[in-house]
Amino acid sequence: MPRTLCRIVGVALGLAGLAGFAAPTLLGLHLTTIHNIVHLLTGLIALYVGFAAGFEAARVFCLLFGAVYLLLAALGFLAPGLVATALGHAPLTARQLTPDNAVHVLLGALLLGVGLTARRAVVKVT
């Protein structure tokens, strides 16, 4: 499951990164050049892990990036100006960052949940 999720997340983040250059307010998000580059790089890493690396690497990716995205969401709610400035945006309020924070919470929870619950399938040969 972690490898499959990495493939899906990689494609989604890659597309979001590319779309963000054309539509910086896509779905009410605040997509800056830095934000789009982060999405593209994260998507490329996810695709690499999903296709070229093994189960354990994909599980670690899910754990690590799940925690990072949840931390980013928490910072977006608690220190929205810091997050907005780090992403190359004018300072924003927590309310203005709500769509971004919601995406980060969902993505972080999904990645972390899969990373924490994933178990390698054991094949019994008889």
Tens-place pLDDT, residues 91-124: 777 778 888 889 999 999 999 999 999 887 656 6
Is the Cα torsion angle 61, 48, 108, 100 positive or negative in sign?
A: positive
7-18 pLDDT, tens digit per residue, is: 999 999 999 999
Give the pLDDT score at 19: 93
68-88 pLDDT, tens digit per residue, is: 999 999 998 898 888 888 888
- Residue 120: phi and psi, rounded to 5, are -70, 135
